[in-house]
Structure 1
């Protein structure tokens, strides 16, 4: 399924007892339709308040009910899901497909405005209002220094036995016709709070409090950098998850499951 949601009123993607989550709403709704579902797996588990327009997930449903309802699943879900969750497309998964491990990359966008009047009224739920002017050239220079294969421990919430090595394939900023600044960040995968930490660090650069070389200098760290602020969640949206051709899905999933090789610290 390809899914979109307004994350404002959700406690993130993952099911949590007593909390409203995207996975919880989807599971409950699909269970009403299919009687039983198993293994809801998502490409990228978003945090509380983070949105998505291009999220991807897969789930196992009874084959006989899928045969009866598969072709009409999207309009059926439209009538059952709350207004802040939409399923845009649904189909039988190809052999070897895994929403999480088969992905080639995820791409996020972060919207921030430095306009003196704040965020546009119709976009205030997905656009951060920044109180000081931001320099696009400084933002772009800092982003350039972070692309590539690195250990992003300084920008991640550490999890035991989890690697913080990632390949950042694209990080760029542009200012749209409406004056809103948009950061586009793409990587093979992201660790928890990584995108919001990258954006938080660059906002400090954009307003002139930090040098453009400062974020890249933090890549030498092997633990979370306390001086890196985490940008608020509502400016962040998962916009794309890309996959290889159907014949390469299983191989990509196997490759992703292997632990990433550690990155040696840069020379001092």
Structure 2
């Protein structure tokens, strides 16, 4: 009954009894995020090698939005797994028929907890690495907050490819309703059919514009648009569509850019306004503190996945 009154992209697949002290957010053992993107000529091997540098416990202040106003002053987080991989084709064309630029890939990251916009910032840097604009080693440099304590100014990746794929909990007995499963599968099939058809229509339009392989040759006279198609393959720049803002004509490397305001400066600003408590180390330097408040953790924004209940 619940699923029939929820929006089409929200479904309850299972439930579990829990104690009064249970919190869906703070009782979570670890979370897994997926970020999807087209291959688009990206160097996936470089991206995967760079993604693995995220693993371990690091200070991610240069790879998130520093939300000090909401009492977040500790940016050390633990990433358990980070990988970049190409996905098997699930589209309307048989595997191998669709050009490599349009094949879908995935950045998968699993961690104990995440900061605000952390995954989108991580994805943005990986996309720059995949385009050859940055070296994989820039990840180590961004994580070295002793040498680079201030975040370079860069745009994060857009939000719609980001999915909160799974949350793990301890000692929960999940009860699955077969009717809810069947109802959700039917709706997913319907949604997939609609989007797959729209995808094929758009791909056919690109073929007509000469931007995707087609049986018709450019300039054959059968379609006047093909003769006027740009000579540059637009598919090689699909990754640009996943970055917020406009890409500058001349690229400047991350560590050569203007820097954002430092963490200590932000802490002092909000402590003076009484929003947060000044850390003891900074009070020892003669700074005044504010009202003490419990630090809370900000999660990255993402759409929840549908097919799998949390385990």
* TM-score for the superposition, normalised by structure 2: 0.47
1:102–1:205 distance in 2 versus 1, CA, 3 Å: same
Tell me which of 167, 175, 194 is aligned to 2:78. 167
Cα deviations across residues 10-61 of structure 1 (Å, max 9, x unaligned)? xxxxxxxxxxxxxxxxxxxxxxxxxxxxxxxxxxxxxxxxxxxxxxxxxxxx
Q: Which residue of 1 aligns with 2:139?
A: 215
Contact kept in structure 2, 1:158 and 1:224, CA below 8 Å: no
* Richer in strand (by share): 1
Q: d(CA) in 2 for partners of 1:91 and 1:245?
A: 10
Contact kept in structure 2, 1:105 and 1:189, CA below 8 Å: yes
Contact kept in structure 2, 1:170 and 1:187, CA below 8 Å: yes
| Unpaired stretches in structure 2, ≥5 consecutive residues | 90-102, 173-293, 298-311
| Unpaired stretches in structure 1, ≥5 consecutive residues | 1-75, 116-132, 247-256, 261-268
Q: Give the 3-state SS of the residue equivalent to 1:203 in structure 2.
A: helix
Q: Give the 3-state SS of the residue equivalent to 1:233 in structure 2.
A: coil
Q: Which residue of 1 aligns with 2:106?
A: 182
Contact kept in structure 1, 2:39 and 2:86, CA below 8 Å: no
* Mapped pair 1:93 → 2:18: yes
Q: Give the 3-state SS of the residue equivalent to 1:171 in structure 2.
A: strand
Q: d(CA) in 2 for partners of 1:85 and 1:172?
A: 27
Q: Give the 3-state SS of the residue equivalent to 1:149 in structure 2.
A: strand
Tell me which of 31, 40, 53 is aligned to 1:106. 31
Q: d(CA) in 1 for partners of 2:33 and 2:48?
A: 16
Tell me which of 24, 44, 65 is aligned to 1:136. 44
Contact kept in structure 1, 2:81 and 2:110, CA below 8 Å: yes
Q: d(CA) in 2 for partners of 1:109 and 1:224?
A: 27
Tell me which of 210, 227, 238 is aligned to 2:164. 238
Structure 1 consecutive aligned stretches of length 4 or more whose deviation exceeds 6 Å:
257-260
Moved more, 192-201 or 97-106: 97-106
Q: CA deviation at 1:258?
A: 8.8
1:228–1:216 distance in 2 versus 1, CA, 3 Å: farther
Structural mapping, 1:14-25, within 5 Å: none
RMSD: 2.4
Q: d(CA) in 1 for partners of 2:86 and 2:159?
A: 20
Q: Give the 3-state SS of the residue equivalent to 1:166 in structure 2.
A: strand
Aligned length: 159
Q: CA deviation at 1:225?
A: 2.0
Q: Give the 3-state SS of the residue equivalent to 2:67 in structure 1.
A: coil
Query: Which one has a bigger Cα radius of gyration?
Result: 2
Moved more, 93-102 or 168-177: 93-102
Contact kept in structure 2, 1:201 and 1:229, CA below 8 Å: no
